[in-house]
């Protein structure tokens, strides 16, 4: 039996990177997947790719900072697939790059926290009631080692938003665990994605980022997706409230 057989999942940020890889993997493991992101054309392409591989997916483009969009994704899962079991709240942004923290505008600060943290809360707010109706489920947030185990210069807003996700994870896990809903944060290390390349945008920076990991390389999105699958599946049935580091050893590396 496949790991997510007869499960329904929402994946945000599904048009590229970790979300794209996770959506394909979830579908290959039997989940019916609702795909969310801003870029509708890329979502429709992914939906077709999943269908071509024998899976089931439906796409809805929108802005994760809009509460009505968070609600619409859940409603689509219910109307098309009968309910909701898994939510991978993965959408996010880097925020301002190359800007000292004392020079970040209030608008940029608020935008980064809204896209990364508030959108995660809005997603969970509307996902939880449907999971409770099913007797449980799994909510996953994409956080980061940045702001959790390591501080980077010029990343204050990003670090604050991602660290906030860990606090949100722990609170929701404690609140809803007795009702069967597990909530976990996934903390990737450096990953070869379009978003990652916004930060590591020269050969020199890429080599530096590789060097600070114990494994001396970047992850592929597919590697991170496998850890998301673990948290989504019954393989992690006794795992909740965790900040799962999937970071290639960047948090412990000093060489």
**Domain with 195 in it: what CATH number?**
3.40.50.720
Q: How confident is the model at residue 221 (pLDDT cuts 50, 70, 90)?
A: very high
Phi, psi of 23 (to 5 degrees): -60, -45
Residue 92 domain-assigned (yes or no): yes
pLDDT of residue 59: 98
Phi, psi of 85 (to 5 degrees): -120, -30
Q: How confident is the model at residue 149 (pLDDT cuts 50, 70, 90)?
A: very high
- The number of distinct structural domains making up the chain is 1
Q: How confident is the model at residue 201 (pLDDT cuts 50, 70, 90)?
A: confident
Give the CB-side neighbour count of residue 32, counting CA atoms within 13 A.
15
Residue 253 domain-assigned (yes or no): no
Q: How confident is the model at residue 3 (pLDDT cuts 50, 70, 90)?
A: very high
Q: What is the DSSP string of the chain?
A: --TTTT-EEEEESTTSHHHHHHHHHHHHTT-EEEEEES-HHHHHHHHHHHHHTT-EEEEEE--TT-HHHHHHHHHHHHHHHS---EEEE------S-S--GGG--HHHHHHHHIIIIIHHHHHHHHHHHHHHHTT-EEEEEE--SBTTTB--TT-HHHHHHHHHHHHHHHHHHHHHGGGTEEEEEEEE-SB-SHHHHHHS-SHHHHHHHHHTSTTSSPBPHHHHHHHHHHHHSGGGTT--S-EEEESTTTTT---
Is 200 a residue whose pLDDT tops 90? Answer: no
Q: How confident is the model at residue 37 (pLDDT cuts 50, 70, 90)?
A: very high
The overall average pLDDT reported for the chain is 96
d(CA 22, CA 36): 12
Residue 222 domain-assigned (yes or no): yes
Q: Which domain holds residue 100?
A: 8-246
pLDDT of residue 175: 98
The answer to whether 69 is a known catalytic residue is no
Q: What is the mean pLDDT of residues 32-40?
A: 97
**93-128 pLDDT, tens per residue?**
999 888 999 999 999 999 999 999 999 999 999 999
Q: What is the mean pLDDT of residues 14-39?
A: 98
pLDDT of residue 98: 87
Around Cβ 107, how many Cβ atoms within 10 Å?
9
Residue 25 domain-assigned (yes or no): yes
Give the CB-side neighbour count of residue 128, counting CA atoms within 13 A.
17
Which residue is it, tokens 């997916």? 57
Residue 171 domain-assigned (yes or no): yes
pLDDT of residue 97: 87
d(CA 43, CA 100): 35
pLDDT of residue 155: 94
Active-site entry in 20, 148, 158, 230: 158
Q: What is the mean pLDDT of residues 232-250?
A: 98
Residue 135 domain-assigned (yes or no): yes
Q: What is the mean pLDDT of residues 22-43?
A: 97
Is 33 a residue whose pLDDT tops 90? Answer: yes
Residue 242 domain-assigned (yes or no): yes
**68-87 pLDDT, tens per residue?**
999 999 999 999 999 999 99
Cross-strand bridge partners of residue 187: 245
pTM: 0.96
């Amino acid at each position: 039996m496949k790991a997510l057989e007869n499960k329904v999942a929402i994946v945000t940020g599904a048009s590229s990177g970790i979300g794209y890889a996770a959506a394909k993997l979830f579908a290959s493991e039997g989940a019916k997947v609702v795909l969310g992101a801003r870029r509708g054309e890329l979502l429709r392409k992914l939906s077709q790719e999943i269908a071509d591989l024998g899976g089931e997916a439906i796409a809805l483009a929108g802005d994760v900072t809009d509460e009505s969009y968070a609600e619409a994704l859940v409603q689509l899962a219910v109307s098309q697939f009968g309910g909701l079991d898994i939510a991978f709240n993965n959408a996010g942004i880097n925020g301002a790059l190359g800007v000292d923290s004392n020079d970040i505008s209030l608008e940029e600060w608020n935008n980064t926290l809204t896209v990364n943290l508030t959108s995660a809360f809005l997603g969970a707010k509307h996902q939880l009631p449907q999971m409770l109706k099913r007797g449980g489920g799994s909510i996953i947030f994409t956080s980061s080692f940045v702001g959790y185990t390591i501080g980077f210069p010029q990343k204050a807003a990003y670090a604050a938003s991602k660290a906030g996700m860990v606090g949100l994870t722990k609170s929701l896990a404690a609140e809803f665990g007795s009702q069967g809903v597990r909530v976990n944060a996934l903390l990737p290390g450096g990953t070869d994605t379009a978003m990652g390349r916004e930060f590591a945008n020269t050969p020199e920076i890429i080599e530096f980022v590789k060097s600070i990991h114990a494994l001396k390389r970047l992850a592929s999105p597919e590697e991170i997706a496998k850890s998301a699958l673990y948290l989504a599946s019954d393989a992690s049935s006794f795992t909740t409230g965790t900040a799962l580091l999937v970071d290639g050893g960047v948090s412990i590396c000093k060489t």
